[in-house]
A and B are shown apart, each in its own frame.
Chain A
Amino acid sequence: MRKRFLSALLVFSMAAAALAGCGSEDKDKGSSDSTSKGASSENNSSGTVSDGGKVLNIYCWNEEFKSRVTDYFPGYKKKDATSGTIGDVTVKWNITPNENNAYQDNLDAALQKQESASADEKVDVFLVEADYALKYVNSEFAAPLADLGVNDSDLSEQYQYTKDVVTDSNGVLKGTSWQAAPGVLFYNREAAKEVLGSDDPAKVQEYVKDWETFGETAETMKKAGYKIMSTANDSYRVYSNNVSSKWVEDGKINIDDNIMKWVDDSKKLVDAKYTGAYDMWSDDWKKGFYPEGKVFCYFGPAWLVNFSMAADTEGSIGNKGGWGATEGPQGFYWGGTWICAAAGSDNSGLIKDIMLQLTANADIMKAISEGTDDFVNNQPVMEEMAESKYSSKILGGQNPLGIYCNGVKDLSLSNVTGYDLGCTEEFQHAMKNYFEGNATKEEALDQFYKAVVEKYPDLTY
């Protein structure tokens, strides 16, 4: 009997050792942390933040914010690709791509563990986009800026719409951004000269001033061998930002008339072979960044042309300064990145510092704009630079800031919801089938509804 007990014990301990390896490490860490600075992590559940942490965890979806901090935040020292230091605080970058909600899923999981995570593992800063900012802003996971010691007066030079996006339903400001993202139409100067006879922004604007003229220009472009846009999805944001209703009304999926107008207009363009129906960010979409791609224009904000259109690559249009900017048919915005502080963070002082330096320090913001051509979130600086000799190399020496400044005035974000990213993605996927003739409009819409309900089971249609 004893022997049997012994062997059972042996087997059990063997199995236990095999399975236990994963869990033990965290526990040790947690206990040592709670002894050293247990006080700071005790009362975090109320949504306040504390100071004195040694690790700053930043969650984001691409390198943009990282390069801003690396290049413009005084005192940031790069250690390796995913970490750096500010003073004696280690900065850890946690980068997950945006597509298919991957970034949000990852962030959600991390935020939900926030209370039980050890001090060094807690999310301190996360970035959000306009498409889903409300989801976080209206939750308890984002800390009010006031708790960090950032006041409204500090941010008074920012554009109002950038503050509206991250203000929750009770009027509490919970994020801040260094950029504003009014969109314009970027056209290929070469093509404009060849087909329209001039690459002067004012003259080109005449050819794209409204959607009807835009369609006629598409015909001219096609005769000359150019596609008007890379894909029908390019103009999606221009329509979807001029809607009069939300994607979700009272828990029901709602498609605005202007978005259906996009579907009808785009179907015509695709059927006439004026443009393709590729996915955004696909290789086929990116072909137009180069002269051989034969694409006349892209719609986008400053960050698109500066950050995403291969301007660093030899031979691209941007590299040779071959883009021009003009207002296009309608004003719109696209994206923009907001910095939020996570509730329960233990680095409030540093977060405040980053926010103020990058989003409220006029000198640094001016340097960002000059260094990266970004349209920064500072009204006086931008208006001053719009009048100055500043010029964008990618845009062939044009100063586009005046156009941006005009566009940003009319921006309204009253119709954003927390579901926008998923709805937009699925709508474009579904409509691709309609544009390519694989489905009728009804079938495509049906596919859209199904896909959205799968993604957001709380919605109905």
Chain B
Amino acid sequence: MNKKNAKAVRYNKWGYIFLMPFILVYMVFQFVPMVTTIYNSFFENYKAGLTQVGPNFVGLGNYQKLFESGDLWIYAKNTLVIWVMCFIPQIFLSLLLGAWFSDVQLKLKGSRFFKTVIYLPNLIMASAFAMLFFTLFSDGGPINSLLMQIGFIDTPYKFLSNTGSARGIIAFLNCLMWFGNTTILLMAGMMGIDTSLFEAAEVDGATSGQIFFKITLPLLRPILVYVLVTSLLGGLQLFDVPQILTNGTGDPVRSTMTMIMYLNRHLFSKNYGMAGALSVVLFIITAILSLVVFKVTGNDKRKG
């Protein structure tokens, strides 16, 4: 009896040892920063020029300041609006491409090539991509001169000075960068569906539209939820594209200022207190949104 127990313990040990690297990395790079962020958010701690102010304990003072101005909700709304503008076309495009690529009957030529091509934008650095679009859509940039030459407009359209077009460009850029990734995820999900189901449906005389909506979509649900959640979390952290595109100002009138850009502005003055408070609020918002999405879409009771 005793001997047996000792052996079991020995095996368990390896489990813990193999877990160690992850736990270590998680503790150092995730858990400790999170705790210190929460701790920092209760202090007044910033740099005024070259003099360090604080850290002085101010309790919930930073949170009060954050919510008093009410700006946080404007930036949260901006972030969500841009995310929705990016996600809806993206999911349509990805579903369509995924369905085409995974359908063996279509006998698409060069599908491997196109699968690579649609993923390529994601390999470019977001800031480089944003810089490119900044130049393309500047008041005297190529897009404007093109539109003027074909007689579509008379005077340059200020793409980056209008709320709709500025948000649109950011959403378009993000969509372009991420639809390949989403397509590949959805495609993997679609290829995991038992082909006999499709065949059976075809034998029963279902149209391809019916097959897509009645078979593919319902069975794809877990993957769709995963895509939705990861995209939402990514969307909430939207930063690099609008930051570069608007030079950190969030112009016009801060309508493209996302929450992380706001956070970044505080970090410029090494304002760890306010930045910490903002991060904690962001953490809570993210947690709530993820939970809501899981509850609404993930918990499929019909199965149980």
Contacts and interface: CB of A to CB of B under 8 A. Distances in A.
A7 interface: yes
B21 interface: yes
Given A7-B13, A139-B50, A438 B161 contact: yes
Interface in A309-331: none
Nearest to A438: B252
Contacts of A450: 69, 71
B230 interface: no
Nearest to A111: B50
Contact of A276 (B17, B139, B163): B139
B158 A455 contact: no
Interface stretch (A216-224, A277-285, A372-380): A277-285
B268 A101 contact: yes
A436 B13 contact: no
A135 to B, nearest CB: 5
A108 B268 CA distance: 12
A323 B244 CA distance: 33
A283 B163 CA distance: 21
A141 B138 contact: no
Contacts of B254: 447
A283 B247 CA distance: 13
Given A100-B268, A454-B265, A455-B265, A429 B251 contact: yes
A30 interface: no
A4 B48 contact: no
Interface residues of A, number: 40
A433 B252 contact: yes
B48 A457 contact: yes
Interface string B235-266: 00000000000011101111000000000011
B269 interface: yes
Contacts of B299: none
B24 A15 contact: yes
A283 B268 contact: no
Contacts of A105: 268
Contacts of A287: 140
Interface in B255-304: 265-266, 268-269, 271, 274
A278 B20 CA distance: 54
Interface in B168-197: none
A356 interface: no
A10 B140 CA distance: 62
Nearest to A273: B155
A456 B139 contact: no
B15 interface: no
Given A111-B50, A282-B138, A436-B252, A15 B21 contact: yes
Contact of B251 (A7, A141, A432, A456): A432
B139 A284 contact: yes
Contacts of A255: none
Given A4-B13, A454-B268, A457-B269, A135 B251 contact: no
A282 B247 CA distance: 11
Given A418-B49, A429-B249, A458-B46, A7 B268 contact: no
Contact of A139 (B49, B135, B274): B49
Interface string A82-123: 000000000000000000110001001001100000000000
Interface in B92-138: 135, 138
B50 A439 contact: no
A113 B123 CA distance: 37
Contacts of A436: 158, 161, 252
A438 B159 CA distance: 12
Contacts of A4: 13
A11 interface: yes
Nearest to B161: A436
A451 interface: yes
Contacts of A457: 46, 48, 53, 269, 271, 274
A15 B251 contact: no
B47 interface: yes
Contacts of B140: 283-284, 287
A239 interface: no
Given A136-B50, A284-B138, A455 B269 contact: yes
Contacts of A19: 28
26 contacts: A4-B13, A11-B17, A15-B20, A100-B248, A100-B268, A101-B268, A105-B268, A111-B50, A135-B50, A136-B50, A139-B49, A139-B50, A284-B139, A429-B247, A432-B251, A433-B161, A433-B252, A436-B161, A438-B161, A438-B163, A438-B253, A447-B253, A454-B266, A456-B49, A456-B269, A458-B46
Interface of A: 4, 7, 11, 15, 19, 100-101, 105, 108, 111-112, 135-136, 139, 141, 276-279, 282-284, 287, 418, 429, 432-433, 436, 438-439, 443-444, 447, 450-451, 454-458
Given A429-B249, A444-B253, A457-B48, 12 more contacts: A15-B20, A100-B248, A136-B50, A139-B51, A283-B141, A284-B139, A429-B247, A436-B161, A436-B252, A454-B265, A455-B265, A455-B268
